[in-house]
């Protein structure tokens, strides 16, 4: 038996033993780091198409279809309402939302840059280098509605709560609720838009008015669904058995994909159609920041527990019947959460550099190098060891980068 066939047989055995697909591949390390890429001379070999195993194929299909079916969020009564979506859009681009009258959500989440800012950490127009706002990279808002936890540290459990935080945060819009609510009551355009969105004029309860602004902002962001990518065309061609169409997908990307779902174990965490399992992990990105450390998920959970704006609190429009509240009720804070960050989605990656929670890696190639040269001693010792140093060859690194690039569309629409 050849080395490749041998490793395939071992992998098959491992997979039979452990039912869970992604984890099974993760625990069978020998599968695809070996150069097994050449298609065997099988009867149905198609030029330009690798001969993916049934397990590889199943994993590839699990990264779609795209777009995902959308689900309304009952916690936000404005979700899906056209008037609220229009109000949210107007607010998002309005610099009067900032305490300084110059800062809009779109100042950092810039539509032309995939709703991020292209910077390591945010810096507003006119601000000096020394006055960076916050220590985390601005995430894209494409596909924002698909998350269960929001922010790099999961400090929020709904899109509206994640939209409320920047309104009140000193490093972002820095608003006082009373002042912001008064502005909504007195600005004729905002007042009219509020009434159209929520069916009544803004009342006297400042907190309620501000929460409703966040809900309108969330309703608009929930409409941001990223376009299909070359990977999606390949995945759908595989799904319908159209080998000729599938063969149009570059071979380098196919080899990179095989690594991604196989020996490099990326899809254990970067799972599903959005390429994230929605959970948190430590992949050895240093969490030291000026003056201390960024505790990541650990602080996010403390914040979530203390927040009056979670799914367990009265502003949840779904009340006691919200099925998504269960996860919030059951969070536990453990030491292992220290230094964990949310597994980011990988769609539209080409448009969202720099990467990681601190924006420390400037290119897709630098990310691949990070995983290839991983410092295993930097990782948490506890929990299941999924990551290990990959020591990719130059060819493998290029293939993996080529695959990652196919998760982006050539350009993004202007919403």
Binding positions for ligand HEC, rule: CB under 6 A: 97, 103, 105, 107-109, 122, 133-134, 136, 138-139, 141, 144, 147, 150-153, 159, 162-163, 166-167, 172-173, 217, 221, 264-266, 268-270, 281, 283, 285, 341, 343-344, 346, 349, 352, 355-357, 367, 371, 386-387, 400, 404
Q: Least separation, in Å, of the C-beta of 162 and ligand HEC? A: 4
- The pair of structure tokens assigned to 336 is 């292992």
Q: Least separation, in Å, of the C-beta of 44 and ligand HEC? A: 29
Q: Least separation, in Å, of the C-beta of 404 and ligand HEC? A: 6
Q: State the Cα–Cα distance between residues 42 and 1, nearest whole angstrom.
A: 17
Q: Least separation, in Å, of the C-beta of 329 and ligand HEC? A: 20
Decide whether 50 or 261 has the Cβ nearer to ligand HEC: 261
Question: Is there a contact between 301 and 331 (Cβ–Cβ < 8 Å)?
Answer: yes
Q: Least separation, in Å, of the C-beta of 264 and ligand HEC? A: 4
Q: Least separation, in Å, of the C-beta of 89 and ligand HEC? A: 11
Decide whether 166 or 273 has the Cβ nearer to ligand HEC: 166
Question: Is there a contact between 80 and 278 (Cβ–Cβ < 8 Å)?
Answer: no
b/e code 278-305 from CB counts within 10 Å (16+ = b): bebbbbbbebeeeeeebbbbbbbbebbe
Return the closest-CA partner of residue 341 out of 289, 290, 272.
289
Decide whether 264 or 412 has the Cβ nearer to ligand HEC: 264
Helix and strand totals (H; E) in the chain: 17, 4
Decide whether 247 or 372 has the Cβ nearer to ligand HEC: 372
Decide whether 182 or 247 has the Cβ nearer to ligand HEC: 182
Decide whether 40 or 362 has the Cβ nearer to ligand HEC: 362
Q: What are phi and psi of 256, to 5 degrees?
A: -65, -40
- The SS3 of residue 19 is coil
- The SS3 of residue 23 is helix
379: DSSP letter: S
């Amino acid at each position: 038996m050849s080395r490749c066939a041998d490793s395939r047989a071992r992998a098959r055995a491992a997979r039979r033993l452990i039912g869970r697909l992604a984890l099974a591949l993760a625990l069978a390390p020998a599968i695809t780091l070996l150069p097994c890429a050449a298609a065997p001379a099988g009867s149905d070999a198609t030029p330009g198409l690798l001969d993916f195993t049934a397990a590889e194929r199943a994993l590839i299909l699990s990264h779609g279809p795209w777009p995902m079916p959308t689900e309304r969020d009952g916690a936000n009564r404005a979700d899906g309402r056209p008037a609220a979506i229009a109000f949210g859009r107007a607010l998002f681009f309005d610099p009067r939302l900032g305490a300084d009258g110059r800062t809009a959500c779109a100042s950092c989440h810039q539509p032309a840059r995939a709703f991020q800012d292209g910077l390591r950490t945010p810096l507003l127009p006119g601000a000096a280098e020394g006055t960076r706002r916050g220590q985390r990279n601005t995430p894209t808002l494409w596909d924002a509605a698909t998350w269960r936890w929001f922010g790099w540290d999961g400090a929020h459990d709904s899109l509206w709560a994640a939209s409320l935080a920047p309104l009140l945060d000193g490093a972002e819009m820095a608003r006082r609720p009373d002042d912001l609510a008064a502005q909504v009551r007195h600005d004729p355009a905002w007042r009219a838009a509020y009434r159209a969105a929520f069916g009544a004029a803004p009342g006297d309860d400042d907190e309620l008015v501000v929460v409703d602004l966040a809900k309108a902002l969330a309703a608009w962001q929930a409409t941001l669904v990223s376009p299909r990518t070359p990977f999606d065309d390949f995945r759908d061609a595989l799904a319908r058995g159209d080998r000729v169409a599938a063969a149009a997908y570059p071979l380098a990307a196919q080899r990179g994909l095989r690594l991604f779902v196989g020996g490099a174990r990326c899809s254990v965490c970067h799972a599903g159609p959005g390429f994230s399992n929605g959970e948190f992990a430590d992949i050895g990105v240093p969490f030291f920041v000026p003056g201390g450390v960024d505790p990541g998920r650990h602080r996010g959970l403390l914040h979530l527990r203390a927040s009056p704006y979670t799914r367990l609190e009265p502003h949840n429009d779904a009340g006691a019947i919200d099925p998504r509240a269960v996860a919030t009720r059951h969070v536990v804070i453990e030491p292992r959460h220290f230094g964990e960050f949310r597994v980011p989605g990988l769609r539209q990656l080409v448009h969202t550099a720099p990467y990681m929670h601190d924006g420390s890696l400037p290119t897709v190639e630098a990310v691949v190098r990070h995983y290839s040269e991983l410092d295993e001693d930097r990782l948490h010792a506890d929990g299941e060891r999924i990551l290990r140093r990959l020591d990719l060859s130059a060819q493998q690194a290029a293939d993996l980068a080529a695959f990652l690039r196919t998760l982006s569309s050539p350009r993004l629409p202007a919403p």
